[in-house]
Amino acid sequence: MYYPRSFLKFILLGFLLVSLPLVYALAEMILSLDRLESQGRQEVLQAAQAGRTSRLLYEQATTLERIARQHLILEDNALLDEYGKLRQDFRQTTRQLAALPLDPKAQESLVKLGDLESQLHKKLLAPERNPQVAEDLAGGYSRLVDGAQTMLAASNQLTQRAIERLQDTATQGREKWIYVGLATVGIAIALAIVFATLIARPIRQLDLAIRQMGSADFTHAITVTGPQDLRYVGQRLEWLRSRLSELEEQQTRFLRHVSHELKTPLTAVREGAELLRDDVGGKLTPEQHDIVRIVRDNTLQLQKLIEDLLAYQQTRAMEPAELRPVALSDVVNGVLREHRLAALARMINVDAKLAPATVVGDAVRLRTIVDNLLSNALKYSPRHATIDVNVATQDGFAVLDVIDAGRGVADADRSRIFESFFQGPPPVDGRIKGSGLGLAIAREYAVAQGGRIEVQSRADGRSGAWFRLWLPLADTKPMRAVAKTQLAAVAHSR
C-alpha cells in the first residue's frame, strides 16, 4: 500500500478520493439539469412556434376563402392580385409548419392541404367557369379552412408530445440520479472505510506499542506501517523498547545477583542468631536474649524482602500457569496453619469460614496469593484484633474475602494499592515496612489464572481493609472457557 510521506497529506488524499465520487455525482446532476433545461427550452419554442404558425395558417386559409368568394361574386381581378400575395404567405407558412417535428399523419395532411390550395388556385384563375365550378371552388375552400383548422389540433398534439417527452426525460433523469447517487455514496462510503482503516492502522499500532511498553512487555518488536512521519515515530518507539529491554535485563540480573549475594551471608547471620538463642555458645543473659531476638527477627524480615524481590522478578517473566482443579479451602487452611504462630504472637484471632470450593488454578501460585493477603492482614491488624477469612461461591466463581481490623486503605491509595513497590502508611505498631510487592505479585498471579483481586468498601462502617479474590470454579464449563480467554488476553497484553 502506498503511503505519502506525511500523515497530513495522507488524510488530505483520502478526503480528496472520498470526495471525487460525490463531485462526479454533483457534476452529472448539473449536466443532466442543463440538458433537461435545453431540451425543455427547445420543446417549448417548437410548441409555441407550431401553435403560432398553425393559427396563422388558419387565418390565411380563412382569408383566402373570403377573397375567393368575393371574386366569384364580384369578378374583380384586383382581388386576384391580393389573393396572389396572400397565397405566397400561405405557402410560406405551410413550409414553416412542415419544418416542425409533426407526426407523419399531420405532415401528410399538410401536403394535401398545399395540393388542395394549388388546385383551387388553378380553378380560380380559369377564364371560363360554370356554376358547377363555382360550387366546387366554394366547397374546396371550405375544405381548405377545415384542413387548416385540423393543423391547429396537430400543433396541440405536438405540444402534448413535447410535454410527454419532457416528463419522460425528467423521469429517466430522476432514476439515473438515484442510481448514480446510490452508487457514488456507496463508493464514497467504501473509500471512507478503506481510508479510515488505513489511517487507524498505524494509530492502533502506536497505541498497542505504547500499551505493551506501559505493561513492561519489551519482548515484541514494534513495527509501525503508514506515512513516513508515523514510521519514524515507530522507529523511535522501537529504539525506546530496545533500550528499556536492556535496562530491564540489567535490572533483572542486578536483582538476581544482589539477592543471591545477600542470601548467603544472611543465612550465616540467621544461623548464628539461632545458635546464640539456643545457648550453644554459652548461657545468655536476658538482655542478650533480647538482642539475639532482635537480630533474628530482622534477619527473618530481610529474608522475606529478598524472597519478595525474587518472586517479583519471576512474575515479570512469568510462564503461563498450569491451570488445574485445586481445592481453595485446603490452600487457605494450609496458609492459616503456617501463620498460626505469627497470629498467636500478636494475639490475633483468625475467624475462618471456608465453604468447599474447587477452582481452576495453579496450587503454588494460589498459595502465594493467599499468603500475601493474609500476611498483609496480619501486618496491619492491631493486637487482640480479629481477621475474617471467608470462602464462598458466587456466579460461577469462588470468592475469598480477607478482612482485617487495621486502618484500611485510603481512597487516594485504592488505585495504586496493587502497583509494584507501592507502600502505604506503616503499621500502627511500628513494625518494619514491607517491600511493596506482595499485593502486586498477588494480582499478577490472580489475573494469570483467570481471576481478579479487588479492594472492597466496608458497609458496616468499621475500620480495616477488605480484599476480595475471585477465581473461576472448576466445575463450571463456561467459567473454564472464560479463564482460558482471560489468560490468553493477559498473555497477549504482556
Q: Identify the burial level of 273 via C-beta atoms within 10 angstroms of its C-beta, where 0-12 means exposed, 13-18 middle and 19 or more buried.
A: buried
How many CB atoms sit inside 10 A of residue 242's CB? 13
Total domain count, the chain: 3
Q: Is residue 251 a part of any domain in this protein?
A: yes
The pLDDT tens digits of the residues spanning 311-331 come to 666 655 555 556 788 999 999
Say if residue 159 is in the same domain as residue 284: no
338 and 306 both lie in a single domain = no
Q: Where residue 468 sits, what CATH number does that domain have?
A: 3.30.565.10
Residue 397, helix vs strand vs coil: strand
Distance CA 183, CA 19 (A): 13
Can you give the pTM of this predicted structure? Answer: 0.45
Half-sphere exposure of 37 (CA within 13 A, CB side): 6
The pLDDT tens digits of the residues spanning 91-145 come to: 888 888 788 777 788 778 878 888 887 887 787 777 666 677 777 777 887 887 8
pLDDT band at 165; cut points 50, 70, 90: confident
Check if the beta carbon of residue 442 is closer than 8 Å to that of residue 448: no
- Is the predicted pLDDT of residue 488 greater than 50, yes or no? no
CATH no. for residue 272? 1.10.287.130
CB atoms near residue 319 (< 10 Å): 8
Question: Is 1 inside any structural domain?
Answer: no
**In angstroms, rounded to a whole number, what is the distance separating the alpha carbons of residues 97 and 55?**
11
| Domain-located, residue 204 | no
Cell numbers 481478579 label which residue?
452
Domain that holds residue 134: 7-194
Residue 149 grid cell: 383548422
C-alpha 63 chain-centroid distance: 81
Tell me what pLDDT residue 392 has.
92
Query: What pLDDT sits at residue 424?
Result: 67
Amino acid type, 52: R
Q: Burial code of 163-194, b = ≥16 C-beta within 10 A, e = fewer?
A: eeeeeebeeebeeeeeebbeebeebbeebeee
In whole angstroms, what is the distance from residue 352 CA to residue 265 CA?
39
Based on the domain organization, do 21 and 87 belong to the same domain?
yes
Residues 358 and 344 in one domain: yes
Over residues 184-215, the pLDDT tens digits come to: 888 888 878 887 787 788 888 888 888 877 76
Tell me the average pLDDT of the chain: 78
289 lies in the same domain as 379: no
C-alpha neighbours within 13 Å on the C-beta side of residue 262:
17
Which residue among 194, 228, 249 closes a domain?
A: 194
What are the strands, taking DSSP E only, across 141-190?
Answer: none
Alpha carbon 188 to its chain centroid, in Å, reads: 17
- Indicate if 166 and 184 belong to the same structural domain: yes
Q: Is residue 462 part of a domain?
A: yes
Does residue 467 lie within any of the structural domains? yes
